[in-house]
Amino acid sequence: MSISQINVQQLAAKLQGDRQNLQLIDVRERDEVEIVAIAGFEVLPLSEYGEWAEEFATKFDPQVETLVLCHHGMRSAQMCQWLVNQGFTNVKNIIGGIDAYAYLVEPSMAKY
């Protein structure tokens, strides 16, 4: 099954709007998040899966639009696949990740 995707411009538009019906997940490592992050994203590093996986179902709603971010879009794609396997129905991978966001949307952001 293919995962839905949105580009960083679409992400920026969603972030401008009402975030009430949005779940934002950043799967990068904590040291990456320290360099640059987008406010409002829940940080769930893939390497810490064992620490957050159990409580995940109680914290997130499988029906709500869920946007997943990483550096370039590869790890977030893995997370999206996992979410779909967990029964999430409205998951989108942010193509290009925070790197594309920093170049195309928010040029003042730190890049790495």
Residues with a known catalytic role = 70
Longest dimension (CA), the chain: 37
How many contiguous H segments (helices) and E segments (strands) does the chain have? 5, 5
Residues 6+ apart with CB under 8 A from 66: 22, 23, 24, 25, 60, 83, 88, 90, 91, 92
